[in-house]
Structure 1
Amino acid sequence: PQSDDFVRNRLTHSLEVAQVARDLSRALGSHPDIAETAALAHDLGHPPFGHNGERVLADLAVECGGFEGNAQTLRLLTRLESKTFDEQGRSVGLNLTRATLDACSKYPWGPEESRDGKFGVYADDGPVFAWLRLGVPAAQPPRRCLEAQVMDLADDVAYSVHDVEDGVVADRVDLTRLDSEAVWATLREWYPSDLAEVTDDELEDVLADLRAVGSWPHAPYDGSRASLAALKNLTSDLIGRFCGAVQHATHAAGPGPFVRYEADLVVPRRTGLEMLVLKGVAAHYVMQAEDRLAVMARQRGLLGELVALLAHRGPDALDRAFADDWHGATDDAGRLRVVVDQVASLTDASAVSRWEALRAPRVASRA
């Protein structure tokens, strides 16, 4: 559970991604409302403990078609979130437009086409996925609409910049003293496919360019208002740098219009590497810190045990909506999917409290 009021959580991150997506979409002349909505929705399917929990559920859900946060987002928007029902009385989610759902499709393919474990739709959500992709030009690999590309870039921009900012404030990252060799080693471990043709010398050159940004700090962060203001200025400058480069490159690539499938977002190679370097800094100094690794191990154990407890207890331990889904399931795989849907719906704190409640001894009632 989060204990630092400054560090971003899933909600504040999503709001920041939405702001970046809207501003970039407007600058491109695209559909800012659609890009913003996709950005607000992009992390809804993430389970407790983020990507750490996602890996646990992916392992446990093999028998029911796997688990992936983006596929879970589509499932939530089109099925699990109760707002609209069809003629048969089945929930069809938020009743969003085809264009909006398509913009939410970061990985518009199923598990059979999974790349590095990433996909955007479960097999039993295939019908709604086919509907939202009607009219999309056939291509291999499947194309993403421009608004989905904007959402994805906005996520990368916010993630790369803000994780470093949080690390600085948490006294885990000192931007004036980076062990670049160690950062590159972590980066190659975390993002091997992105660095296949990138040398350490090029990464050093990219870091030098980032350090040349006027607001890059020359003194360690000390917690003062002046130091925090300087850090915020760096954050704004980096976001503007990345989005400006993408806007310029995209406009230079063609006349537009920059909407749907009429154009693609262009991310300059150098800009992508700059964001990747920042991700490496956060990965090395924050995500791979020994205390963080210990916390993540405990989170994985808790989530695995929670799935087992819910599967064993069945509908009595599920929220009413998921208990109804359990009763409607026709096989063990369907019931496992219900348990996974229930767990994925929880926050970090509610997952811990649910786990604690299920582990507590039950007192037999007197006749």
Structure 2
Amino acid sequence: MLMVFTRAPYACDPAKTRGRLHRQAESATRSAFQRDRDRIIHSTAFRRLKEKTQVFVAHEGDHFRTRLTHSLEVSQIARTLARALQVDEDLAEAAALAHDLGHPPFGHSGEDGLADAMKGFGGFDHNAQTLRVITLLERRYPEFDGLNLAWETLEGVVKHNGPLMKKGDDPAKLPWGFTAYEDWRGLELHTHSSVEAQIAALSDDIAYNNHDIDDGLRAGILKLDEVTELPLVGDVFRAVRDQYPDIGTSLTIHEAIRRLIGLMVNDVLEETRARLAASGVDSPEAVRALDHPVVSFSESMLVQLSAVRRFLYANMYLHYKVKRAKEKGKRIVRELFEAFLNDPALLPTEFHRQADTPGSPETARVVCDYIAGMTDRYAIDQHRQLFHVEAWR
């Protein structure tokens, strides 16, 4: 049966895009948002996500999530929500696929390490770094730097978690990476983003809440008996055990996580449809003008998820094995930064023209961009070459 797509009035229309910073002819076979999705997938930064930490360091096991597999899971949830809400699936997917491109190696510990190192040089923020990646650091086209994404995709990447400032706020409070973008004011950082971008943000929440439980259980850091005491999660795991008492732990986890994702998706759909109806929005501009997001979990789901996050923080993110790995990653990032900043000649040759003054802000930004683009494995290898004598053998 052929399904006909009906576009909701509040959906972004690729035929009415606000355009790209650098004008390009439209494609005969793909919409503007489809092209953006494809450009993101073909980018170097996207490929590097396969060796970047989500929670567990990427080389610790073949079955734990990396930034890449996480981004793919987020994109699939985003497409499901976008289709059900009759908004543009390609734009939601593009925002989902791009949302982690600015993450450095070693997850949030790597980000903490870079943020500490960059305190005197404008700071570091992974969302701002994502903007740098897609507007400057990716170099794939002879006419311009960056991916030259449509305005709606840029907006979705930058504001998927909500407005970055209020009208009248001092722009100096923004992370440096945002204000360094020449057209940052044009992204309207004081407004909410499109429905599609808000979908990407909630899809991120759904994905990481569930796969952190999955990975934690499979790593042996979380115990099944502990998880079954949680609100929502416990109900689902008990229901699976009652229905399938003999399927074993692995299948129990798979089935429970699948059901949990479905419950959260349905909750978002129900709450979002109610908010859209109550708001009366009839255009993407009307969505942006609201003082609250329209894509959301219900209040009851938010309460339950808050308890889940507290449990994960206490029992997984603070677990000594995870903390040890995080501390090692943070130290590697910090020591690499200090070495390159103090002696830019240690950087690969192609960076020497950009960074030739030890300790300068310009050198610090080049070093930051270089380290932020590293995979876990490459960062470990660079650190070994610089600091370990056995690497000479």
TM-score by length of 2: 0.72
Which of 175, 187, 198 is the equivalent residue of 2:224? Answer: 175
Query: Corresponding residue for 1:340?
Result: 368
Which of 55, 63, 69 is the equivalent residue of 2:126? Answer: 69
CA distance in 2, matches of 1:167, 1:245: 24
C-alpha displacement of 1:269 = 1.6
Contact 2:343 2:358 in 1 (8 A): no
What are the superposed Cα offsets for residues 75-112 of structure 1, whole Å, 9 maximum, x if unpaired? 000000112355xxxx53011111111111135537x9
CA distance in 1, matches of 2:99, 2:156: 10
Give aligned pairs, total. 320
CA distance in 1, matches of 2:374, 2:349: 11
| Letter in structure 1 aligned against 2:126 | G
Contact 2:95 2:157 in 1 (8 A): yes
C-alpha displacement of 1:147 = 2.0
Relative to structure 1, the CA distance from residue 294 to residue 316 in structure 2 (aligned partners, 3 Å threshold; closer, same or farther) is closer
Relative to structure 1, the CA distance from residue 324 to residue 267 in structure 2 (aligned partners, 3 Å threshold; closer, same or farther) is farther
CA distance in 2, matches of 1:330, 1:308: 10
Query: Corresponding residue for 1:355?
Result: 383
Which of 50, 54, 64 is the equivalent residue of 2:107? Answer: 50
| Letter in structure 2 aligned against 1:345 | G
Relative to structure 1, the CA distance from residue 354 to residue 225 in structure 2 (aligned partners, 3 Å threshold; closer, same or farther) is farther
Which of 146, 150, 165 is the equivalent residue of 2:214? Answer: 165
What are the superposed Cα offsets for residues 101-127 of structure 1, whole Å, 9 maximum, x if unpaired? 1111135537x979xxx9666255232
Query: Corresponding residue for 2:141?
Result: 84
What are the superposed Cα offsets for residues 38-73 of structure 1, whole Å, 9 maximum, x if unpaired? 111111101011111101111111222100111100
Contact 1:145 1:259 in 2 (8 A): no
Matched, 1:249 2:271: yes
Which of 275, 291, 304 is the equivalent residue of 2:334? Answer: 304
CA distance in 2, matches of 1:281, 1:155: 18
| Letter in structure 2 aligned against 1:175 | L
Taking the TM superposition and a 5 Å limit, the aligned residue runs for 1:84-233 are 84=141, 86=143, 91-105=144-158, 106=160, 108-109=163-164, 122=177, 124-131=179-186, 133=187, 136=188, 139=190, 142-178=191-227, 207-213=230-236, 216=239, 218=241, 226-233=248-255
C-alpha displacement of 1:360 = 5.0
Deviates more, 1:70-79 or 1:164-173: 164-173
CA distance in 1, matches of 2:334, 2:368: 11
Relative to structure 1, the CA distance from residue 292 to residue 208 in structure 2 (aligned partners, 3 Å threshold; closer, same or farther) is closer
C-alpha displacement of 1:361 = 6.4
| Letter in structure 2 aligned against 1:109 | L
Relative to structure 1, the CA distance from residue 19 to residue 167 in structure 2 (aligned partners, 3 Å threshold; closer, same or farther) is same
Relative to structure 1, the CA distance from residue 120 to residue 99 in structure 2 (aligned partners, 3 Å threshold; closer, same or farther) is farther
Matched, 1:318 2:386: no
Relative to structure 1, the CA distance from residue 344 to residue 259 in structure 2 (aligned partners, 3 Å threshold; closer, same or farther) is farther
CA distance in 2, matches of 1:13, 1:119: 27
Contact 2:228 2:234 in 1 (8 A): no
Contact 2:95 2:197 in 1 (8 A): yes
Relative to structure 1, the CA distance from residue 359 to residue 211 in structure 2 (aligned partners, 3 Å threshold; closer, same or farther) is closer
Aligned-pair identity (%): 30
Contact 2:67 2:100 in 1 (8 A): yes
| Letter in structure 2 aligned against 1:93 | G
Which of 293, 311, 314 is the equivalent residue of 1:281? Answer: 311
CA distance in 2, matches of 1:243, 1:145: 18
Query: Corresponding residue for 1:11?
Result: 68
CA distance in 2, matches of 1:259, 1:162: 34
CA distance in 2, matches of 1:97, 1:337: 26
| Letter in structure 1 aligned against 2:344 | G
| Letter in structure 2 aligned against 1:125 | A
CA distance in 2, matches of 1:39, 1:258: 24
Relative to structure 1, the CA distance from residue 337 to residue 258 in structure 2 (aligned partners, 3 Å threshold; closer, same or farther) is farther
Contact 1:164 1:281 in 2 (8 A): no
Contact 1:30 1:147 in 2 (8 A): yes
Contact 1:29 1:258 in 2 (8 A): no
SS at match of 1:254: helix
SS at match of 1:126: coil
Deviates more, 1:2-11 or 1:347-356: 2-11
Matched, 1:35 2:92: yes
CA distance in 1, matches of 2:65, 2:345: 34
Which of 286, 294, 318 is the equivalent residue of 2:324? Answer: 294
C-alpha displacement of 1:19 = 0.6
How well do the aligned residues superpose, as a CA RMSD in angstroms?
A: 3.3
Contact 1:307 1:340 in 2 (8 A): yes
Relative to structure 1, the CA distance from residue 324 to residue 82 in structure 2 (aligned partners, 3 Å threshold; closer, same or farther) is farther
Contact 2:82 2:89 in 1 (8 A): yes
Contact 1:29 1:257 in 2 (8 A): no
Relative to structure 1, the CA distance from residue 285 to residue 57 in structure 2 (aligned partners, 3 Å threshold; closer, same or farther) is same
Query: Corresponding residue for 2:82?
Result: 25
